Amino acid sequence: MSASPVETKKPAKITVKGLRKSFGTNEVLKGIDVEISEGEVVCVIGPSGSGKSTLLRCLNKLEEISAGHVVVDGFDVTDPKVDINEVRRHVGMVFQHFNLFPHMSVAENIMLAPVELKKATKAEAREQALTLLERVGLKEKADARPASLSGGQKQRVAIARALAMNPGIMLFDEATSALDPEMVGEVLQVIRDLAASGMTMVLVTHEMGFAKEIGDRVIFMDGGVVCESGPPAELFGNPQQERTQEFLSKVL
Amino acid sequence: MTESRKTRAPRALLRAVIAGLAGVFVLLGGAGAAMAQPSDSNVEGKNFVIGTDTTFAPFEFRANGELVGIDMDLLQAIAKDQGFSVDIKSLGFSAALAALSSNQVDGVIAGMSITDDRKAIYDFSEPYFESGVQMAIAKTDDSIKGYEDLAGKTVVAKTGSEGETYAKSIAAKYGFTVKSLDQSATMAESVKSGSAVAVFDDYPVLAYGVSQNNGLTTVTEKVPGGSYGFAVNKGQNPALLAAFNDGLAKLKANGEYDKILDKYLADPASAVPSNFWERLGNSIPALMNGLGHTILVTAISFAVAMVLGLLAGFMKLSNNIVVRGISTTFVNIFRGTPLLLWAFLFYFGVPQLTGLPMSIWVAGVLTLSLNSGAYVAEIVRGAIQSVDPGQLEASRSLGLGYGKSMQKVVVPQAFKMMTPSLINQLIIMLKDSSLLLAIGFTELLYQGQQIYAANFRITETLLIVGVIYFVAIMALTKLANYVDRRFNK
Ligand SMILES: Nc1ncnc2c1ncn2[C@@H]1O[C@H](COP(=O)(O)OP(=O)(O)OP(=O)(O)O)[C@@H](O)[C@H]1O
Ligand SMILES: [Mg+2]
């Protein structure tokens, strides 16, 4: 399916204002301002070390935020009074290296959060896990151990796990980078379906073709700042900034 | 009276009542003369804890698992005569004196010579045995006929004994070196193995060893020397001392004293079984008892060490510098000091500092578990740190808190990684528990020592003890690996 047109002025789902992040003396994010509205699919591209992952991890506070504000689903995650665990239940995250729990079965991986957070009984959670697995095409693997799955299957399970708390936002950090080429497609298909369902998504990706196809908007980062952003057709077809042109000439 | 007696108050009361009733009967029977003595009234019906050596045959040693010997028989006979009872703690000579100083025992009877140095710290009874030092050499050695033949050679003597004092006093004159050892049996062994040519020891001890075919023979006349006495802490337990003296005088008067001495000195071979296999058979119950204590103290200590280690291991990972500091200090202290030091400190030091009695089990468990806890803490920390940080991130990103994430995701994986190290630690602890013999804890190796102290078969006894340890550890390893496989699939 093709990218849906940018819908104008839906309420902001994520608001990033003046976000700065340093590791020691190394400032990695140097003032980021981004607004993402409900249902929007935003792809983040940029050279290695530009701060894409760090930005994503600041959105659910996996990194401490040095300065600025990040408001997610109405919660200001920089506010110490906000229960970050509560916020994270609204934000699913998918990692490059899957990070499945190896000591649990596939279904148990998905059931962990709903059961532990008392959102469902074990039976309900299993029911839901099977539904999610069906959605990613892996229902028959429910009782397998993660170690017995292929990379593409692992990542699909990881996506199902991230969906278990019914989040309104999904974050993907290079979800296909660690996969063998022949498995990339099956994972991208799952992400595509999610986008079609109206999920708000932020994807850090190296797959330019996929970003072009799926993104409502593409953000190009370089050196800890947002260098250029816009609809994929414009950013890829007619980049305004020299650094964007340079980057795209290398990767396209 | 010592603190350890206070804990026995109910029992002491019961004994007092029984003794009182008995006294009434005796009075009614018109035979109350002995009871009327003032010194008796203070000790009657009471129970005293008496410390003694482990390995000083014929004064104290084990035969068929029972502590016997001149000291033991005398003490029991005196206790019976004077109407008190005794609990014997077979601690080893130095440990018994340490226990006396820290009031862990009420008195010590251990073939101890009365010396001026000792009189400064302890109160002694009347001498109950006139000893003397003699020299013995290997039976097969015909090169040594007297002190003149010792030039350039090494001799052994027991640490702190009269034999040591005497040997040192003539060492320069005859040009030999004195090496001090702790046990009669090891001294005999070093002479037989050739690492020393002669042993200086109290003559009854040597005579007894010779009678047990320990491979030695005596060559010199005995040098008249020290008298043995029963000791109590200075200024404490005067009643017990008086009762001992009174009882001793009576035994001497009625001939029982001579009978006891004859039993061990005139015909010592009859005191214990002569066949080695017979002796071994007799010693199996004692060894099994020791093994039981070894396993029990290890099991309790390991459970405590796990709790301590998990706690300290997690504290080491804390972001709080104070919490981390406490844990690091704990680990450094117990990894940086010998186990044995803590055993002595807990068992002898703590009662002196606090005035409270310390059970040997508590001291043993504290020693083993604190030491092991420090290592377990490091194992726990290492295992948790080796779990991929992405695991914690994934769990946190799902909205699970830090504690829940640790509990459900990180710790189960860490446990799987640490079980081999933990099993290793358990086995180290089981072996280390043998060090507790130094404070008189009756574990397996201690029981082995007791046995070879009496039969002088060091090598055979140690081999048997070694086989028992080996089998126990093999079984434990198998069990632990089985449990590991069951739970860490
Ligand atoms: N935990 C950390 N501690 C110190 N420095 C870090 C840490 N994480 C990231 N950095 C640094 O921050 C900078 C940005 O890293 P980040 O991972 O956000 O880049 P990226 O754009 O995702 O790169 P890539 O495309 O290689 O994944 C890099 O220079 C990196 O070395
Ligand atoms: Mg990255």
pLDDT in tens, A154-175: 999 999 999 999 999 999 999 9
Please state, in angstroms and rounded to a whole number, the distance separating the CA atoms of residues B239 and B19: 17
Say what the pLDDT of residue A187 is: 94
Chain A nearest-CA distance from B392, in A, is: 9
> For chain B, percent helix, then strand, then coil, each to nearest 5?
65, 15, 25
Instruction: Find, in chain B, the residue whose alpha carbon is nearest to that of A86.
Output: B399
Q: Which of A64, A88, A110 to mutate to test the interface with B (most CBs of B within 10 A)?
A: A88
| Nearest in space to B440 (alpha carbons), one of B88, B65, B205, B124 | B88
Instruction: Find, in chain B, the residue whose alpha carbon is nearest to that of A114.
Output: B398
Q: Answer yes or no: do A162 and B398 touch at CB < 8 A.
A: yes
pLDDT above 90 (res A196): yes
The closest-lying atom of ligand 1 relative to the alpha carbon of residue A57 is 18
pLDDT in tens, B226-245: 899 999 999 888 999 999 99
Beta strands in B229-289 (DSSP E): 231-233
Counting as low any pLDDT under 50, the low residues of chain B are 1-40, 271
Chain A nearest-CA distance from B416, in A, is: 9
Structure token digits, residue A98: 């899957």
Q: Answer yes or no: do B394 and A112 touch at CB < 8 A.
A: no
pLDDT above 60 (res A55): yes
Q: C-alpha distances in angstroms, B340 versus A69, B217, B358, B434, B465? A: 58, 36, 16, 10, 21
Please state, in angstroms and rounded to a whole number, the distance separating the CA atoms of residues A104 and B244: 71
- Residue B6 DSSP SS3: helix
Chain A nearest-CA distance from B318, in A, is: 17
Question: Which residues line the pocket of ligand 1, CB cutoff 6 A?
Answer: A 23, 26, 28, 46, 48-54
Q: Answer yes or no: do A97 and B416 touch at CB < 8 A.
A: no
pLDDT in tens, A111-151: 999 999 988 999 999 999 999 999 999 999 999 999 999 99
Nearest to B408 among A85, A116, A162 (CB): A116
Q: Does the model's pTM come out above 0.80?
A: no
Query: In angstroms, what is the span from residue B316 Cα to ligand 1's centroid?
Result: 27
Say what the pLDDT of residue B331 is: 96
Query: In angstroms, what is the span from residue A247 Cα to ligand 1's centroid?
Result: 18
- Residue B406 DSSP SS3: helix
Residue nearest to atom 16 of ligand 1 (CA): A51
Residue nearest to atom 4 of ligand 1 (CA): A23
Say what the pLDDT of residue B432 is: 95
Say what the pLDDT of residue B275 is: 65
- Residue B169 DSSP SS3: helix
| Nearest in space to B304 (alpha carbons), one of B370, B378, B360 | B370
- The three-state DSSP-derived secondary structure of A146-163 is HHHCCHHHHHHHHHHHHH
Q: C-alpha distances in angstroms, A108 versus A164, B396, B410? A: 11, 16, 15
Instruction: Output Rg (C-alpha) for chain B, integer angstroms.
Output: 27
Residues in Cβ contact with A87 at an 8 Å cutoff, skipping those fewer than 6 apart? A60, A61, A72, A73, A75, A77, B399
The pLDDT > 70 percentage for chain B reads: 88
Q: Answer yes or no: do B413 and A102 touch at CB < 8 A.
A: yes
User: How high does pLDDT run on average in chain A?
Assistant: 92
Residue nearest to atom 9 of ligand 1 (CA): A54
Please state, in angstroms and rounded to a whole number, the distance separating the CA atoms of residues B295 and B305: 15
Say what the pLDDT of residue A204 is: 96
Say what the pLDDT of residue B295 is: 96
pLDDT category at A153 given cuts 50, 70, 90 is very high
Which of A23, A174, A206 should be mutated for ligand 1, with most atoms under 8 A from CB? A23
Quick one: which ligand is closest to A51's CA?
Answer: 1
